[in-house]
């Protein structure tokens, strides 16, 4: 594991970093520039994290995670403007569906369909939503070639109401997709929440703590394993909010898989 300095990526090298290192870490201003919007536009999404609903599926019995989840299809071309995604013309929201992962990628919660409440329409209609997802989908296509991407979006709030909150209760993992983005939306009154990225087949790794809202970590899911350490309260009830996005070229995970119980 290397030192704890924050290994920000020059925005001109994002594609090269994904190809060579398996990840890229962008400062908030660079995320806004990539999306073609302002930080204020991105911050307009943040109030919706106050309206997430309790995750009822945690197998550790915890009540520290709230979330919403929706899915989209990014056609990878210019498309028609004015679609439900809010602006890019390539992104269309799919009918609401359960989230599913195989046990090979999520030993704790894999193998079952988990149906979460959808992301609020008012959030998806914000211009920054479609711009952000569309721009990141464009980066994925620069790395792997233009294609249709099946995108899952997860709003998470990890809180410390019962003490420790665990952003990744499954531990260090891959998600079984092509690319993953972990975006810090905010954190308050906490310590911990360190992000760790490891080579999937090698000794190298990085660890750092994302502190500024709209810091973005973009991962090649086949190349690296990632996790975030638990959070603890610091001078009051605390929480850590993130937006996690995944892109997969072969359809949504769980298509055709029989439903199993929790």
Q: Work out the number of other CB atoms within 10 angstroms of the CB of residue 255.
A: 10
Question: Can you tell me the mean pLDDT for 220-233?
Answer: 94
Query: What is the number of other CB atoms lying within 10 angstroms of the CB of residue 226?
Result: 23
Other beta carbons less than 10 A from residue 76's beta carbon: 18
Query: pLDDT, tens digit, for every residue of 202-217?
Result: 778 899 999 999 999 9
Nearest in space to 240 (alpha carbons), one of 159, 172, 181, 180: 159
Residue 102 has pLDDT above 70, yes or no: no
Q: What 8-state DSSP symbol labels residue 115? A: -
Asked if the model's pLDDT at residue 82 lies above 60, the reply is no
H-only helix segments in 80-194: 121-124, 127-144
Fold (topology level) of 13-78+88-249: Jelly Rolls (2.60.120)
Q: How confident is the model at residue 85 (pLDDT cuts 50, 70, 90)?
A: very low
| pLDDT tier, 117 (very low <50, low <70, confident <90, very high otherwise) | very high
pLDDT at position 4, please? 53
Pairing verdict, β 195-199 and 205-208: antiparallel
pLDDT at 96: 93
Three-state secondary structure string covering 38-83: CHHHHHCCHHHHHHCEECCCCCCCCCCEEEEEEEEEECCCCCCCCC
Where exactly are the structural domains of the chain? Answer: 13-78+88-249
Residue 51: both structure tokens together: 């309206």
Average pLDDT over residues 104-124: 74
Residue 249 has pLDDT above 60, yes or no: yes
pLDDT of 244 strictly over 60? yes
């Amino acid at each position: 594991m290397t030192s704890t300095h924050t290994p920000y990526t020059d925005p001109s090298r994002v594609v090269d970093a994904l190809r060579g290192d398996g990840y890229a870490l962008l400062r908030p201003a660079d995320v806004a520039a990539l999306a073609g919007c302002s930080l204020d536009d991105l911050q307009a999404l943040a109030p919706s994290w106050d309206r997430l609903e309790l995750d009822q599926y945690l197998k550790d019995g915890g009540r520290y995670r709230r979330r919403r989840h929706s899915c989209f299809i990014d056609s990878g071309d210019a498309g028609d403007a004015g679609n439900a995604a809010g602006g890019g013309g390539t992104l269309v929201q799919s009918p609401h569906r359960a989230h599913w992962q195989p046990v090979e990628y999520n030993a704790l919660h894999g193998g079952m369909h988990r149906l979460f409440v959808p992301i609020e329409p008012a959030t998806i209609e914000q211009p920054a939503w479609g711009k952000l997802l569309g721009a990141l989908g464009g980066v994925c296509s620069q790395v792997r070639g233009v294609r249709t991407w099946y995108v899952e979006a997860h709003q998470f709030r990890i809180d410390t109401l019962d003490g420790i909150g665990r952003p990744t209760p499954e531990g260090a993992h891959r998600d079984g997709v092509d690319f993953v983005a972990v975006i810090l939306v905010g954190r308050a009154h906490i310590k911990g929440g360190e992000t760790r990225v490891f080579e999937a087949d090698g000794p190298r790794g990085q660890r750092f703590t994302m502190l500024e809202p709209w810091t973005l970590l973009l991962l090649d899911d086949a190349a690296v394993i990632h996790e975030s350490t638990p959070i603890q309260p610091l001078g009051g009830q605390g929480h850590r909010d993130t937006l996690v996005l995944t892109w997969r070229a072969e359809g949504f995970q769980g298509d055709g898989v029989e439903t199993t119980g929790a």
